Chains A and B, each alone.
Chain A
Amino acid sequence: MLDRIAGLGKAVLDSIAGAGQAMVMLLRALIGKPQLRKSWPLLMQQMYSVGVLSLIIIVVSGLFIGMVLGLQGYTILVDFGAEQSLGPMVALSLLRELGPVVTALLFAGRAGSALTAEIGLMKATEQLSSLEMMAVDPLRRVISPRFWAGFYSMPLLALIFSAVGIYGGYLVGVRWLGVDDGAFWSVMQANVEWGQDILNGIIKSLVFAFVVTWIALHKGYHCVPTSVGISRATTSTVVTASLAVLGLDFVLTALMFG
């Protein structure tokens, strides 16, 4: 019985220590004199592998989610003779919820796991220690550009996701099912607000970008440097980041639109 309580205590202490480690890592990676000339090429390289290479999966899934929203929304709305409301339904659900959330989930699976595995392998093969031996701070050299790349990429990806999704809804709703073209856009414009919907969506995706990239980097940087440890860390990145995104999304939605 006492062993169980001790086990619980150890789990709590471990998770607090993990959170502290992650916080220290982030602060040490981000605070300091910015060296634009050195870090710019590194940032570009990471933007490419984190952002540009995620573009295809984001565009394809955005298009299909928009098309599914258009199809499902139409079959329900047409019963009430309200198929003109298809535009705002597709646009609002994408801008407020699906755009930021699905992008963050895909990003955690596509880019977050890759970040964790890459940094974990660097640690296992002692590349990080070698960097330190050469008086290069691995936090500044390895962690910081990856963090900023994720932080800048995800809002852009979420915007692209929403735009492509709205176009997918337009394709299905207007081109295929015959909702009136003018009504689709004008009712959407009457209901979508710049500050309320688009800006809040961007704020959401910024928060998700921060959380997902941070979790991915922390899991990689503090993984057990063995092959089992790296595989555990990668799995744990995807699971933790997805849960954090879904939980935070509820809180943010309650704060913004509640």
Chain B
Amino acid sequence: MESRNTQLAVGFFVIIGVLALLFLGLRAANTNFSSNGETYKLYAKFDNIGGLKERSPVKVGGVVVGRVSKITLDGDYYEPLVEMTISKDYDEFSDTSSVSILTSGLLGEQYIGLSPGFIDDTVEMLGDGDYIHDTKSALVLEDLIGQFLFSQGND
């Protein structure tokens, strides 16, 4: 019967291993917005993206609806182009929506804040691959100080 006890022990070992995987997957990792859900892509051009990184969150009123999937330089003028992957659960953003690069807290990570625009008959909805035209760039501290000093000098 020793062989049976061995098999039992190995069986329990495998079960504990799978339980550990389930614990890590369900308890430690985020399951609500993972990459396996259906998504669509939106694009936005900024003058300056500051400290935005790939996989930074895209938030509407603080709620994460997607993530930045790619950052490239686009066109003749080398404008930063940000590709956002948004969950299909939120696919009713209008053409008049705007995006801005915000900072969570004083020293926190930068993220994209998406403000949904108004909706009426003449406004179209954003679909896969569309561009958001109304964008606000990241706040760069050095520029801000420069502007402040410049306006002080004028007085």
Contact = CB atoms under 8 A, between A and B. Distances in A.
Interface string A34-69: 000000010011011001100100000000000000
A189 B30 contact: yes
Nearest to A87: B28
Contact of A190 (B10, B23, B30): B30
Interface of B is mostly: helix
A163 interface: yes
A198 B13 contact: no
Interface string B1-29: 00100110110111011011101110111
Nearest to B13: A52
Contacts of A95: 24, 28
A159 B20 contact: yes
A162 interface: yes
Given A41-B3, A44-B3, A195-B35, A160 B20 contact: yes
Contacts of A176: none
B151 interface: no
A193 interface: yes
B28 A48 contact: no
A103 to B, nearest CB: 12
A198 B17 contact: no
Given A162-B20, A194-B34, A45 B6 contact: yes
A189 B13 contact: no
Interface residues of B, number: 25
A44 B19 CA distance: 20
Contacts of A163: 19-20, 23-24
A157 B13 CA distance: 9
A97 interface: no
Contact of A193 (B9, B21, B29): B29
- The interface residues of chain A, by DSSP majority, are classed as helix
A185 B27 contact: yes
Contacts of A157: 17
A91 interface: yes
A44 B6 contact: yes
Contacts of B30: 189-194
A196 B29 CA distance: 10
A156 B55 CA distance: 29
Nearest to A62: B20
Contacts of B24: 95, 159, 162-163, 166, 198
Contact of A156 (B17, B29, B64): B17
Contacts of A55: 13, 16
Contacts of A83: none
B21 A159 contact: yes
Given A95-B24, A189-B29, A190-B30, A156 B6 contact: no
Contacts of A185: 27
Interface string B107-125: 0000000000000000000
A191 B64 CA distance: 12
18 contacts: A45-B6, A48-B6, A48-B10, A52-B9, A52-B13, A55-B16, A157-B17, A163-B19, A163-B23, A163-B24, A166-B23, A166-B24, A189-B29, A192-B28, A193-B55, A194-B25, A195-B34, A198-B21
Given A41-B3, A156-B13, A164-B20, 16 more contacts: A44-B7, A47-B10, A48-B6, A48-B10, A95-B28, A160-B20, A163-B19, A163-B23, A189-B30, A190-B30, A194-B25, A194-B30, A194-B34, A194-B35, A195-B34, A198-B21
Closest A-B pairs by Cβ, 6 of them: A156-B17, A163-B20, A159-B20, A189-B30, A192-B29, A160-B20
